Amino acid sequence: MTTLEFVSTSADGLSESATPLVSAAALITGPGTHPTVTLPVVPGRPPDTEAVWHWLAEPADFFGIEMPAVAHLRRALTDFTDELQRRHGPLTAAVTVAVVDAHFVVSGTPIVPVRTEPVHLARCSMPPPMPSWRQMAARTTSRAAQLRTERELAGSGHADAVPTDSGHVAVPLLGALVCDTPGGRVGLGAARLGRLRAAGLLDTSTTLTDASLELAAVTRAWWVSPRYETHPVASIGELRW
């Protein structure tokens, strides 16, 4: 996907994407340790700045990284969304916010929120509980493990892998899952789907959870990618729809 041609920072406002924004010291002393989050942004619908700030503040506090004030985040996001509207009109984007050198850096990629292309998901074993440091590291720019997983899955024709155990499915390794069941629609991956809902791209009737779900109860499913594009699911392992 193409990255938008501009970025927004809480330090310098709007810049073109080619403008260097990260100091050499930050690249040398802290590669892959910048707190970051990606969220869908719909022009005309302000992001939940408070929720984004708190999500970033947890890994920042854990790793001892200086966290700018929420007002700086609000300004950087507002500048970005206003410029997005000015340059591209009603374009939905996957917007990434990172904390770098005690400032917020906001960039984005255009997305199509609802895709028609079906995806195939692999099944994998339930991963062991992650220690807190790994949970926090997963919320930084340290994405080597995720990128490796993406490459390996793509090589086998899968968009993601879903942990399964005793007939239950859990939150996918990369994205999220929305499932139709006889008891209603259930979303696996509460944090990611909460951001999708905040952007108005997921209905409020869907129950969001990180708990596992009985696979036999799933009558239809959709996969939400890390960039918040929703695809119909053609299969999870040997189970097909």
The residues spanned by each domain of the chain are: 6-110, 119-240
The CATH H-level (homologous superfamily) assignment of domain 119-240 is: D-amino Acid Aminotransferase, subunit A, domain 2 (3.20.10.10)
Of the options 2.60.120.380, 2.60.40.1180, 1.10.490.10, 3.30.470.10, the CATH number for the domain spanning 6-110 = 3.30.470.10
pLDDT per residue over 211-237, tens digit each? 999 999 999 999 999 999 999 999 999
In the block, residue with structure tokens 């239950």: 168
Residue 110, token pair as written in the block: 């255009």
Model pLDDT, residue 31:
54
Model pLDDT, residue 1:
46
For residue 111, pLDDT over 90 is answered with yes
Q: Taking a C-beta distance cutoff of 8 angstroms, is the pair 99, 60 a contact? A: yes
Q: pTM score, two decimals?
A: 0.88
How confident is the model over 99-119, as a mean pLDDT?
Answer: 94
Q: How far from each other are the two terminal CA atoms of the chain, in whole angstroms?
A: 28
Q: Taking a C-beta distance cutoff of 8 angstroms, is the pair 122, 237 a contact? A: yes
CA 79 to chain centre: 21
Question: Rounded distance, CA 233 to CA 241, Å?
Answer: 8
